[in-house]
Structure 1
Amino acid sequence: MKVSEIQPQLYQQFSNILQRKHLSHAYLFSGGFGSFEFAIWLSQALFCENLQEGLPCGICRACRLVATEDFADLHVVSPEGQTIKTAQIRTLTQVFSESGYEGKQQAVIIEAAEKMHPNAANALLKSIEEPESEVVIFLLTTNENMILPTIKSRTQVVHFTKNSHHFQHLLEKSGLLKTQAEWLAQICDSPEKAMDLSQQVWFSDGVQRLQQFVKLCATSPSEAFLYLKELVEIFDDKEKQNMAFELLLQMFRQEKMRDELLKTFRAIEMWKSNVRFESCLTFMVL
C-alpha cells in the first residue's frame, strides 16, 4: 500500500518537508502504523535518481533497491532476539564515519528502537549529537517511553496513530473479507503484516477457535475449560499468544462481556510475568 493511503496527513506533511529540502537528520517514529513504510519512502527520496518535485519516483534503480532493502547506503537494523546489541550499533557507527558508496548520503532505519541495550543507545547518542557524515536516522518504536530520554530529545518525534476503521477499509480494498479485515485492523500495525497474516492458515484457524472459546465462556465455562487445549496447540509461540490476547480483548468488548474482559487484562499481566499461556487461559475460565 502507498504511504499516501496509510497516513495521508503525514504524507502531506513530509511531502512539504521534502519539497523544501528540510528533512532533519534524526527522527523518532512513534506508534508503528506505517512507520517502516514511511522510513523507506523517505529513504527513497534521499537516493532517488528522478525526483518529482522533491518526491521519489519509486521506479528508478535506487528506489527499487531501497524498497527491497538492498541499497548499499541504506542500513536497516533489527533486534537480534529480544535486543538490539551494542555490537550492532558500534558496527553502525563505524559506517557513519565513512562516506556512502553511491554518494555522500546514507540512511539508517532502526526497528524496535526501544529494544536497544542501554550501552547500544548511548553509543548511538554520540552519532546523533555529532554526525560525522551525511546520515539520516529513523528510529522506529511502538513505545517511545522506553527510548533513552537523551536520544528522544535530540530527534524529531512523529506520531503514527492508527485509524482502525480506515485501516480496515484499506484491507477490504486489497481483497480481504470484511470480518477478516476487521480483526487484522485491530491487531496489526502495518498493511504488510496484515496481508501476510491473512495468508497464514494458522491465523484463520486461530480466529475461529477464539470465537468458539468466547461463545463457550458465555454459555458453558466447563466446556471452555476443556477447549483450552485447542488454543494452546495453535498459539504456540510468544508472538501468536500476544495476538490471541489482543483478539480476545476485541471479541469480549464486542460481546460486552465485562467480567471476561477484566480477566483477560489480568491474564495478560500474568503472561508478561512469564506465567505459561495455558495457565493464563485457565485463570480466565475458572
Structure 2
Amino acid sequence: MSLPIETLQPQLLATFQQIIAQGKLSQGYLFAGTAGTGKAELAQWLALRLFCQHVTDGQPDLTCPECQRILSGNHPDVLVVSPDGQSIKIDAVRRLKAELSKRGVESNQRIFIIQSAEKMTTSAANGLLKFLEEPSPQAYLILTTSAKQLILPTVRSRLQLIDFHDLPHAQLVAQMTAADISEPTAALLAHLTNSVSAAQALLASDYFEGLVSAIWKWVTQIQQKQAQAFVSVQTQIMPLVKERDQQELTLTIILLAYQDLLAVHFGQEDALSFPKQHQALTQWAETQTGFRLRTALEQILAAQRHWQGNVNFQNVLETLTLQLLGPHVI
C-alpha cells in the first residue's frame, strides 16, 4: 500500500513539515473540511513522518518497515478510531483512553486518529477531555471532521484547528484521473463532489452515466429548439431519477451545462464541466446574448427553489423545459 501524495494539500503539507522540523508539533489537532480535502491523508502522513526510519527532505520514504505497517493499519503505536455505524460510541473512546495512558509499545511516541469526529456521542466526546486537559508526553491526537460546528465546544477549544479548504478544480481533476476516471468525466464530477471516493461511487452507480447522457440530449434538443425536449423529460430523464438525491443531481447538472454556455460566451473556459462538448457549446453560445443566458440560469435556479419547496419534480422540469425553449416552440 502507499499514500496517495496527490491528495495532500501542498500548503498544509509544507506547514507541517516546518512544524515538525522545528519541534513544535502540538499534541491535539482538529482537521476540518469537506470530504475529499485530504484530512485523513494528512493525519496518516503525520504518523508516517513521525515513525519513518528513512525521512528524506522532510518526507517519509513509504517503504521502510515502519511506514509499511502504518499504511497497512498494523502499527501498534498508531491507532485509528472510526464510526461504528452512525456514531462513535463511548466504548470506543474508553478503549482509546486506556491506550492514551500507556507508553508506546515500540517507541516513546504514539499517534491517535479519530475519523469523522462529529459522530462522537456526547459521552464519548466528554471522555476525551481528561487527555486534552492533561495530555500524555509524546502522545498526539488528531480529530478529523466535515462538520466542526458539531464538535463539543469543550473539545474543540482544546485542539488546534486546521481548516482544509476545497481543492482547486485542476488539482481535483488530476486526483480523479489518477484514480482512473477519464478526464472529461472527471471535469464534471469535480463540480459535483470534492471527494474522489464519492466520485467513484457516483460513477459506479447504475444511473449516473445514463443520466448525464439523457440530460445532454435534452439540453441539445432545447438549444436546437426541438419540441421533443418536452417529451424527453418523461421518456428519458424521469425513469432515471426516482430518488430526491437523483433529482437534485439532475438540476445541478443542468445548471452546470448552462454555466458552461455562459463561460464559453464570455471566453472563460478554464474549468468547464463539459469540455468534450466544447464545439457544441461554442456554436450555441455564438447564437445567444449574455442576457438570454443569464436569464436561463435564473430560470434554472428558480426551478431548484421550486423543487426544494416540494413541487413535483416532473412538473418542475417540464415547466423549465418550456421556459428554456421559449415561446412558439410547442
TM range (shorter): 0.7 to 0.9
Which residues of 2 match residues 109-120 of structure 1 at below 5 A? Answer: 109-120=113-124
Secondary structure, in 3 states, of the residue corresponding to 2:205? Answer: helix
Task: State the identity as a percent.
Answer: 27
- 1:129 matches 2:133: yes
Secondary structure, in 3 states, of the residue corresponding to 1:71? Answer: coil
Preserved contact between residue 97 and residue 131 of structure 2 (Cα < 8 Å): yes
Which residues of 2 match residues 205-284 of structure 1 at below 5 A? Answer: 205-213=207-215, 216=218, 220=229, 223-225=232-234, 227-232=237-242, 245=248, 248-256=251-259, 257-264=297-304, 281=313, 284=316
Q: Structure 2: 5+ residue runs without aligned partners?
A: 260-296, 319-330
Between structure 1 and structure 2, the one with the greater Rg is 2
Moved more, 248-257 or 112-121: 248-257
Aligned residue in 2 for 1:45: 49
TM-score by length of structure 2 reads 0.69
C-alpha spacing 1:61/1:244, structure 2 compared with 1 (3 Å): farther
Preserved contact between residue 187 and residue 243 of structure 1 (Cα < 8 Å): no
| Cα separation, 1, equivalents of 2:47 and 2:300 | 45
- 1:165 is displaced (CA, Å) by 2.5
- 1:250 is displaced (CA, Å) by 4.8
- 1:27 matches 2:29: yes
- 1:249 is displaced (CA, Å) by 2.3
Deviations 1:27-47 (A, max 9, x none): 111114011111101011121
- 1:112 is displaced (CA, Å) by 1.0
Alpha carbon RMSD of aligned pairs, Å? Answer: 3.2
C-alpha spacing 1:174/1:213, structure 2 compared with 1 (3 Å): closer
| Cα separation, 2, equivalents of 1:280 and 1:69 | 48
The partner residue of 1:202 within 194, 202, 205 is: 205
Structure 1 residue ranges, 4+ long, deviating more than 6 angstroms after superposition: none
Counterpart residue identity of residue 231, structure 1: V
Deviations 1:114-139 (A, max 9, x none): 11111111111222221235321111
The partner residue of 1:17 within 6, 10, 19 is: 19
Preserved contact between residue 83 and residue 117 of structure 1 (Cα < 8 Å): yes
| Cα separation, 1, equivalents of 2:139 and 2:309 | 40
| Cα separation, 2, equivalents of 1:57 and 1:189 | 27
Moved more, 1-10 or 115-124: 1-10
C-alpha spacing 1:221/1:28, structure 2 compared with 1 (3 Å): farther
| Cα separation, 2, equivalents of 1:181 and 1:210 | 13
| Cα separation, 1, equivalents of 2:90 and 2:312 | 34
- 1:229 is displaced (CA, Å) by 3.4
C-alpha spacing 1:266/1:10, structure 2 compared with 1 (3 Å): farther
Aligned residue in 1 for 2:176: 171
Secondary structure, in 3 states, of the residue corresponding to 2:241? Answer: helix
Counterpart residue identity of residue 147, structure 1: I
- 1:222 is displaced (CA, Å) by 6.0
- 1:259 is displaced (CA, Å) by 3.7
Which residues of 2 match residues 47-196 of structure 1 at below 5 A? Answer: 47-52=51-56, 54-161=58-165, 162-172=167-177, 175-191=180-196, 193=197, 196=200
C-alpha spacing 1:81/1:175, structure 2 compared with 1 (3 Å): closer
Secondary structure, in 3 states, of the residue corresponding to 2:66? Answer: helix
Aligned residue in 2 for 1:276: none
- 1:160 is displaced (CA, Å) by 1.3
Q: Structure 1: 5+ residue runs without aligned partners?
A: 236-240, 271-278
| Cα separation, 2, equivalents of 1:112 and 1:280 | 35
- 1:216 is displaced (CA, Å) by 4.5
| Cα separation, 1, equivalents of 2:188 and 2:60 | 33
Length, aligned pairs only: 268
| Cα separation, 2, equivalents of 1:76 and 1:280 | 44
- 1:68 is displaced (CA, Å) by 2.2
TM-score by length of structure 1 reads 0.78
Preserved contact between residue 251 and residue 300 of structure 2 (Cα < 8 Å): no
Secondary structure, in 3 states, of the residue corresponding to 1:255? Answer: helix
- 1:186 is displaced (CA, Å) by 3.0
Preserved contact between residue 253 and residue 261 of structure 1 (Cα < 8 Å): no
Counterpart residue identity of residue 202, structure 1: S
